[in-house]
Chain A
Amino acid sequence: DVKVTQSSRYLVKRTGEKVFLECVQDMDHENMFWYRQDPGLGLRLIYFSYDVKMKEKGDIPEGYSVSREKKERFSLILESASTNQTSMYLCASSRVGFRETQYFGPGTRLLVL
């Protein structure tokens, strides 16, 4: 079974702090994704990575950066957290291929005070 893990289930941070969210997958997937989920808005893609050190911006990259130094690990960084970044963050991975599904981690609920 595919396993995607995220470093924290719940996180509370203060405005202005630098926040790291880490995601690890164990199925050698090429693609990894970071989403943000807010009620009524569905999932919105923040960043996508298709290979080590490769990344593409999604729909809402402002205020975020990412790092992929190893194939299995994809980190989301909030350089200076703000209250409007309070949200649920979901990491996903998939194989390359049009029909391939994305496998998700359990999510991190981030509260920025």
Chain B
Amino acid sequence: AQKITQTQPGMFVQEKEAVTLDCTYDTSDPSYGLFWYKQPSSGEMIFLIYQGSYDQQNATEGRYSLNFQKARKSANLVISASQLGDSAMYFCAMRPRGNSNYQLIWGAGTKLIIKP
């Protein structure tokens, strides 16, 4: 079965601290992509970062980095130096290469609240 699990329904973090949001996945496809999205209270889903299963290095985009541990099937998002504007829902998603319709498989999300 293909599945994404985000075990943290909610998190409170002090401003300026680093944050790690957990994501584990399950697929039998050896080739897949992993995506993280942010959804502020306004509702729009914003793409943050992508990691391919055969990428040699862990992905980084500004303050976002992905701690990709293939053997453990985990792809945790790390946000460095958190800001108040980081408060949002965060979703992890996976696309196995065998999905002919480019469908993403989504986790249930983690609600992150940054405290001043």
Chain A positions near chain B (C-beta within 8 angstroms): 9, 31, 40-45, 48, 50, 56, 58, 88, 90, 92, 94, 96, 98-107, 109
In the bound assembly, the distance between CA atoms of A43 and B103 in angstroms comes to 11
In the bound assembly, the distance between CA atoms of A58 and B46 in angstroms comes to 22
Chain B positions near chain A (C-beta within 8 angstroms): 4, 9, 31, 33, 35, 37, 42-47, 50, 52, 91, 93, 95, 97, 101-104, 106-109
Contact assessment for A48 and B102 in the assembled complex, using a CB-CB cutoff below 8 Å: yes
In the bound assembly, the distance between CA atoms of A69 and B107 in angstroms comes to 32
Most buried by A among B45, B47, B104: B45
In the bound assembly, the distance between CA atoms of A31 and B37 in angstroms comes to 18
Contact assessment for A101 and B35 in the assembled complex, using a CB-CB cutoff below 8 Å: yes
Contact assessment for A43 and B106 in the assembled complex, using a CB-CB cutoff below 8 Å: yes
Shortest A61–chain B CB gap in Å is 12
Most buried by A among B102, B103, B108: B102
In the bound assembly, the distance between CA atoms of A98 and B97 in angstroms comes to 6
- Residues of the A chain whose Cβ atoms lie less than 8 Å from the Cβ of B103: 45, 48, 58
Contact assessment for B33 and A99 in the assembled complex, using a CB-CB cutoff below 8 Å: yes
19 A-B residue contacts at CB 8 Å? A31-B102, A42-B4, A42-B107, A43-B104, A44-B106, A45-B104, A48-B101, A48-B102, A48-B103, A50-B102, A56-B101, A58-B103, A92-B45, A99-B52, A102-B47, A106-B42, A106-B44, A107-B44, A109-B43
- Residues of the A chain whose Cβ atoms lie less than 8 Å from the Cβ of B104: 43, 45, 102
Question: What 3 A-B pairs have minimum CB-CB distances, sorted nearest first?
Answer: A104-B45, A42-B106, A107-B43
- Residues of the B chain whose Cβ atoms lie less than 8 Å from the Cβ of A105: 44
Shortest A52–chain B CB gap in Å is 16
Contact assessment for B50 and A99 in the assembled complex, using a CB-CB cutoff below 8 Å: yes
